[in-house]
Amino acid sequence: MKNKILVTGGAGYIGSHTCIALHEAGYDIVVYDNLSNSSREAIRRVSNLIGESIKFIEGDIRDDEMLGQVFSSNDFFGVIHFAGLKSVSESVAEPLLYYDNNVSGTITLLEVMAEYGIKNLVFSSSATVYGDPETLPIDESSPRSCTNPYGQSKLAVEYILEDLAVSDNSWNLIALRYFNPVGAHSSGQIGEDPNDIPNNLMPYISQVAVGKLEKLSIFGNDYRTIDGTGIRDFIHVIDLAQGHVAALNYLKNQIIINKRDSIRFLPINLGTGNGTSVLELVNTFTEVTGKAIPYQFTDRRKGDVASCYASASKAKFLLGWEAKLSITEMCQDTWNWQSNNPNGYSVKDI
Ligand code: NAD
Ligand code: UD1
Structural domains in the chain (count): 1
For residue 86, give the ligand 2 atom closest to its CA: 14
For ligand 1, atom 8, which residue shows the shortest CA distance?
12
Mean pLDDT to the nearest integer, 69-86: 98
For ligand 1, atom 34, which residue shows the shortest CA distance?
86
**Taking Cα atoms as reference points, which of 215, 202, 236 lies closest to residue 335?**
202
Give the pLDDT band of residue 197 (cuts 50, 70, 90): very high
Q: What is the DSSP string of 55-71?
A: EEEE--TT-HHHHHHHH
Per residue in 248-296, pLDDT (tens digit) is 999 999 998 888 777 899 999 999 999 999 999 999 999 999 999 999 9
Q: Give me the pLDDT at residue 347, please.
A: 53
For residue 200, give the ligand 1 atom closest to its CA: 40
Domain containing residue 315: 4-349
Q: Give me the pLDDT at residue 258, please.
A: 83
Label the pairing between strands 276-277 and 231-232: antiparallel
For ligand 2, atom 13, which residue shows the shortest CA distance?
200
Q: If you measure from the C-alpha of residue 331 to the centroid of ligand 1, how many angstroms do you get, rounded to a whole number?
A: 22
Identify which of 6, 7, 13, 96 to mutate to test ligand 1's pocket (most ligand atoms within 8 A of the CB): 13
298 lines ligand 2 (CB under 6 A): no
Distance CA 104, CA 60 (A): 11
For residue 36, give the ligand 1 atom closest to its CA: 11
**What is the average pLDDT score of the chain?**
96
Q: Do the Cβ atoms of 90 and 37 come closer than 8 Å?
A: no
Ligand 1 first shell, C-beta below 6 A: 8-9, 11-15, 33-38, 60-62, 82-86, 101, 105, 124, 126, 178, 181
Q: Do the Cβ atoms of 304 and 151 come closer than 8 Å?
A: no
pLDDT at 348 over 70: no
Active site residues: 150
Q: Percentage of the chain with pLDDT > 90?
A: 95
287: domain CATH number is 3.40.50.720
Among the bound ligands, name the one nearest to the CA of residue 147.
2
Q: If you measure from the C-alpha of residue 272 to the centroid of ligand 1, how many angstroms do you get, rounded to a whole number?
A: 21
Distance CA 315, CA 325 (A): 16
Among the bound ligands, name the one nearest to the CA of residue 82.
1
177 lines ligand 2 (CB under 6 A): no
Q: Give me the pLDDT at residue 350, please.
A: 40
Q: If you measure from the C-alpha of residue 34 to the centroid of ligand 2, how many angstroms do you get, rounded to a whole number?
A: 25
Per residue in 110-140, pLDDT (tens digit) is 999 999 999 999 999 999 999 999 999 999 9
Q: Give me the pLDDT at residue 349, please.
A: 42
| Strand-pair partners of 164 | none
Amino acid at 3: N
Give the pLDDT band of residue 2 (cuts 50, 70, 90): confident
Strands (E), 271-322: 276-277, 295-298, 307-308
180 lines ligand 2 (CB under 6 A): yes
Q: Percentage of the chain with pLDDT > 70?
A: 99
Q: What is the DSSP string of 112-140?
A: HHHHTT--EEEEEEEGGGG-S-SSSSBPT
For residue 16, give the ligand 1 atom closest to its CA: 26
Mean pLDDT to the nearest integer, 69-79: 98
Per residue in 43-62, pLDDT (tens digit) is 999 999 999 999 999 999 99
314 lines ligand 2 (CB under 6 A): no
Among the bound ligands, name the one nearest to the CA of residue 303.
2
For residue 11, give the ligand 1 atom closest to its CA: 9
**Taking Cα atoms as reference points, which of 269, 281, 278, 285 lies closest to residue 306?**
278
